[in-house]
A and B are shown apart, each in its own frame.
Chain A
């Protein structure tokens, strides 16, 4: 039994599964953190909109530079996210429509434009297509040069880690710092924007900063894991966490735990699960991670200690 476990977690595991699991987890946490505040501000779908417009941004960056390297892609995607936010604002004002409709109009249009650009231009030389954008390629982010757990201490092997891993780690640190440094301001402006304005916090600027943090997380995670995980992680772990506690700090903590569980279990189920049923093939890890986060959400909806609205106990 223990031997089985050791072989299961042996050199092959380090080479093939460790980096995707770590990358998936980093991406999940990076999205779940700002997701907590988006959820409480009733902006949960901003993440949805942003992850849709990342595709046209990346395609535009490719059209401009002709290559598919990380920095222009991230700049393009970030620019697309900002363009989308501005367009949503314009449509909302000009058409005097509700934010949901404005958002739906803008992100479907930009996504459609991105798909069409992708199909019209010749991108066959590089690996960029709609499937990839939706699903990411978590399974392919393997660590070729790893020979076992010892490689974690070997600088030469560490240098060949998939570049997504250090990138996501940096983004995660940045987002954590942002939330840590502006904790009080974020908390107050989320729960009572008018009060926040009265005591000198600028709620609009902070709200914009939050959207930017969201966009950064979405873009960094999108490159590694595709837009499905991004949307699922913005919403599901924070939503589950919201049903566990009434305290913001604990909610953020729970959301990190749920995001981690989703990423690890999702990857394991996708990679090894079919084998338990005798199938030699793996299924989509991105899809499975989203599915696990959904199962967690259903469980918390049924059993979460704080699942009801205040006062709903009395009615029920």
Chain B
């Protein structure tokens, strides 16, 4: 069976019970990571989760050592998860403590906790390597994630914990939104900002420790950061953004796990991260709200309108047009002939544009403070901005001004 066939069958959960379970687990993990990450992103503390995830390593090592000391296998996943949760909680509290008690800023505290905990974790891993030289501990897989040879009990643990984390996000969504946007206001309404902040980071912690096995601790932070950044392109509303981030995270986890199941030698974490980055690229390019393509199109459309309008005004003033783009636009619209002379259609449109421009000029003199004047962009027809009564008034003024000019001309 080729890679593509396998990928497709795995995508629809036909490639065996175990890989289906892993894919569902990774999907649920991504779902909770995306939604929890959305709040952390809005609170502008994305990199705190990086400290949390690196701080899991000593916990994994210590839990392994303790479990072996008590005579068990040492690779029991719930035990390792518990150990990693404790040590990353200590790491999180250290970041808090350093920022609160000393003059150091949060980024310095993050960098310090991240590197020191990780370094200490590596020391413990080398201790473990010497300790159990006979049997491979396989703890290195926690660095970059691996789903190869995953037990069904492990996949179930991850799936259940992922679902619980998602439920936790749902329950706390209101206070977390409030704190993310306006902590001062949240405090005045009686929300305990510090506790909510801790809960937010606690969510990141839960996602991190359950993601250790699949994504690995170096890259799990990507699953918290990339989906919300991608989701931000599609909407300006919190509720929708969280939903979109959850979907993107879930799809990244699911597709990534399926891809890596089809190519078992590859570590799972990097694949999931690159799938998430693919979603980011798609969002950054194609989202209608803020995507690169949409803004490029908007820009082009605006440019064409400006050139068309200015070209028509030149026609009305019987000035020659030299700008290549303007000529092309007017030609394509059938406004001018190949030799630059206006067609009948062009003359009508030019008259209309000149008339509109004259009305705007008069309107600016008559109503300098009107809100419509402030929004004047030189493109919008005046009929769309003002009432017929106003326009009739403007026309009367233009006429009388013209009459006055004509009389002046007659008298001199």
Contact = CB atoms under 8 A, between A and B. Distances in A.
Nearest to A236: B112
B46 A42 contact: no
Looking at chain A's contact residues, the main secondary structure is: helix
B180 to A, nearest CB: 12
A135 interface: yes
B102 A308 contact: yes
Contacts of A176: none
A297 interface: yes
Residue of A232, A234, A289, A312 most packed against chain B (CB within 10 A): A232
A303 to B, nearest CB: 11
B247 to A, nearest CB: 18
B280 A105 contact: yes
Interface stretch (A142-150, A160-168, A276-284): A276-284
Contacts, number: 206
B233 interface: yes
B205 interface: no
Contacts of B274: 109, 112-113, 116
Interface string B113-125: 0111111111101
A3 B117 CA distance: 38
A238 B103 CA distance: 13
A42 B115 contact: no
Contact of B122 (A47, A100, A242, A284): A284
Looking at chain B's contact residues, the main secondary structure is: helix
A43 B225 CA distance: 19
B112 A98 contact: no
B241 interface: no
Contacts of A43: 107
A130 B87 CA distance: 24
Interface in A261-280: 270, 274, 279
B218 interface: yes
Contacts of B284: 91, 94-95
Contact of A108 (B123, B143, B219): B219
Given A97-B229, A101-B225, A134 B122 contact: yes
Given A239-B111, A282-B126, 8 more contacts: A94-B292, A98-B41, A100-B45, A119-B270, A231-B111, A232-B116, A284-B119, A301-B102
26 contacts: A48-B111, A48-B115, A95-B284, A96-B290, A98-B44, A101-B228, A105-B225, A109-B274, A112-B270, A116-B266, A236-B116, A239-B104, A242-B108, A243-B104, A270-B123, A281-B127, A283-B126, A287-B118, A293-B115, A294-B120, A297-B112, A301-B102, A304-B102, A308-B103, A310-B103, A312-B103
